[in-house]
């Protein structure tokens, strides 16, 4: 015994009329409009044996069903996606094309693109109803469309934040023991870092914050961050986490992160400038608020020198590197006060590197 409800029967009847007896264009358009408003799945067409397998409608239904199934199972089928790109605006299934593209963006984490695709799905069609669902989960707006079905759907297609919250509460219970906290946090972060790097980074920041509040954020924690996120990101997150608590320590991490950025990845001048801006602000704080040891100054001097050489190596024409006046490092160098000026030019290095070192020649 097969189970079909009235809606299914009605849709199949309309499909039959649309495909077999839509004699006039006007009648076909009327049927298409009625169908588009209630066709809740392109997969319904697959069961219609009165539609030949070689027909355009059947081929589009197969491609859309395959693309959507592969997408929602986490194994996108590229050939199915290539096939749906051929669906034209005059197709009965065109609204489903826009919807599938929207869901694809959703799973890729590109929420703006998702909303943009959904906004282009023709109004008054069945898949256009999902526009309200995405508005609710991505923007918090509901426009009176906050239906129980959407709540159920969101529970199924979104990870519960409660799971992470519960894990964090457990982690907090071990905040007195750094090793245990780092081990627990590491397991949680490893679990999600591939699919959701932003959440993983936020969790690491949260854990660093808890350790700092207990005054036990050690180099082991920083090492864990580097192991989980790589040198550049690990040092960057460590620098960010320690910025308010330990700016002197943060400055070292920012320098390591900038160096790793130049060593590890294709970077841009905008990124380099952003790093320099941060280094300037942090070094200003460090100089004004701390009595710095000779060892610390030597460390900073060595890192800054290395950074300058790296930047000049990668960007030989980096704006200003040939002229001290508009040298990008001068914004750091400009912070050096009279005390620093007296000890300048202690090494024979290239001009820009020397400009940087002035800052740290305390």
Partner 1 sequence: MNIMDIIDSRIDPWEVLDIPRDAEDHEIKEAWKARTVSGRKRDRLHLAYKMIATAEDRELYRLLSPGTPETLEGFEQQLPLRSRYSGPGIWYNSLKKILETETGEEQTTE
Please, which of residues 75-114 interact with partner 1 by CB under 8 A?
103, 106-107, 109, 111-113
CA–CA separation, 359 and 281 (whole Å): 12
Burial (CB count <10 Å: 0-12, 13-18, 19+), residue 3: exposed
Question: Which one of residues 6, 123, 313, 342 is an interface residue with partner 1 (CB under 8 A)?
Answer: 6
Alpha-carbon Rg for the chain in angstroms = 30
Stretch that binds partner 1, among 36-44, 174-182, 215-223, 346-354 (CB under 8 A): 36-44
* Closest distance of CB 275 from partner 1, Å: 7
What DSSP string describes 72-131? HTT---HHHHHHHTT--TTSTTHHHHHHHHHHHHHHHT-HHHHHHHHHHSPTTSGGGGHH
196 binds partner 1 (CB under 8 A): yes
Q: Which is nearer to partner 1, 204 or 300 (CB)?
A: 204
38 binds partner 1 (CB under 8 A): yes
CA–CA separation, 303 and 27 (whole Å): 76
CA–CA separation, 314 and 268 (whole Å): 10
217 binds partner 1 (CB under 8 A): no
Encoding tokens for residue 323?
A: 């002229």
Q: Which is nearer to partner 1, 147 or 344 (CB)?
A: 147
68 binds partner 1 (CB under 8 A): yes
CA–CA separation, 288 and 285 (whole Å): 5
Encoding tokens for residue 162?
A: 């409660």
158 binds partner 1 (CB under 8 A): yes
161 binds partner 1 (CB under 8 A): yes
Residue pair 238/219 in contact by the 8 Å Cβ criterion = no
Q: Which is nearer to partner 1, 25 or 73 (CB)?
A: 73
Count residues near partner 1 (CB under 8 A).
73
270 binds partner 1 (CB under 8 A): yes
Residues 286-345 that bind partner 1 (CB under 8 A): none
What DSSP string describes 6-27? HHHHHHHHHHHHHHHS--SHHH
* Closest distance of CB 248 from partner 1, Å: 15
Question: Which one of residues 45, 118, 182, 201 is an interface residue with partner 1 (CB under 8 A)?
Answer: 201
Q: What is the DSSP letter of 55?
A: S
- CA distances (Å), origin 231, targets 58, 108, 259, 362: 51, 25, 9, 28
Q: Which is nearer to partner 1, 240 or 303 (CB)?
A: 240
Residues 121-140 that bind partner 1 (CB under 8 A): 126-127, 129-130, 133, 137-138
Contact partners, residue 100, CB within 8 Å, separation at least 6: 64, 67, 68, 71, 84
* Closest distance of CB 35 from partner 1, Å: 12
Question: Which one of residues 24, 74, 143, 194 is an interface residue with partner 1 (CB under 8 A)?
Answer: 74
Question: Which one of residues 91, 174, 227, 271 is an interface residue with partner 1 (CB under 8 A)?
Answer: 271
Stretch that binds partner 1, among 16-24, 147-155, 178-186, 215-223 (CB under 8 A): 147-155
Residues 226-265 that bind partner 1 (CB under 8 A): 236, 240-241, 243
56 binds partner 1 (CB under 8 A): no
* Closest distance of CB 252 from partner 1, Å: 16
159 binds partner 1 (CB under 8 A): yes
Residue pair 102/121 in contact by the 8 Å Cβ criterion = yes
Question: Which one of residues 32, 58, 119, 153 is an interface residue with partner 1 (CB under 8 A)?
Answer: 153
């Amino acid at each position: 015994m097969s189970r079909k409800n009235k809606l299914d029967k009605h849709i199949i009847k309309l499909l039959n009329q649309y495909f077999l007896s839509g004699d006039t264009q006007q009648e076909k358009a009327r049927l298409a409009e009625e169908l588009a408003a209630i066709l809740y799945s392109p997969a319904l067409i697959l069961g219609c044996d009165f539609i030949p397998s070689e027909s355009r409608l059947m081929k589009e239904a197969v491609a859309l069903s395959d693309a959507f199934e592969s997408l929602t199972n986490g194994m996108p089928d590229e050939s199915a996606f290539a096939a749906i790109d051929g669906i034209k605006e005059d197709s009965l299934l065109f609204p489903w094309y826009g919807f599938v593209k929207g869901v694809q963006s959703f799973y890729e984490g590109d929420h703006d693109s998702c909303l943009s695709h959904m906004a282009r799905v023709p109004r008054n069609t069945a898949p256009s109803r999902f526009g309200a669902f995405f508005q609710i989960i991505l923007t918090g707006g509901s426009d009176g469309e906050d239906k129980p079905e959407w709540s159920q759907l969101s529970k199924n297609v979104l990870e519960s934040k409660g799971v992470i919250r519960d894990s964090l509460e457990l982690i907090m219970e071990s905040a007195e023991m750094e090793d245990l906290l780092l081990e627990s946090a590491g397991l949680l972060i490893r679990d999600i870092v591939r699919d959701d790097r932003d959440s993983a980074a936020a969790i690491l920041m949260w854990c660093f914050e808890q350790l700092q509040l207990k005054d036990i954020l050690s180099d082991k924690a920083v090492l864990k961050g580097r192991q989980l996120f790589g040198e550049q990101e690990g040092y960057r997150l460590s620098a960010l986490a320690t910025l308010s608590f330990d700016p002197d320590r943060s400055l070292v991490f920012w320098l390591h992160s900038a160096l790793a950025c130049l060593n590890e990845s294709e970077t841009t001048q905008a990124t380099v400038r952003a790093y320099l801006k941060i280094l300037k602000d942090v070094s200003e704080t460090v100089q004004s608020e701390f009595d710095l040891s000779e060892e610390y100054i030597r460390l900073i001097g060595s890192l800054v020198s290395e950074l300058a050489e790296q930047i000049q190596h990668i960007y030989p024409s980096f704006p200003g590197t040939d002229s001290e006046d508009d040298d990008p490092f001068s914004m750091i160098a400009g912070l050096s006060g009279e005390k620093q000026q007296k000890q300048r030019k202690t090494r024979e290095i290239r001009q820009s590197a020397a400009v940087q070192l002035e800052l740290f020649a305390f």
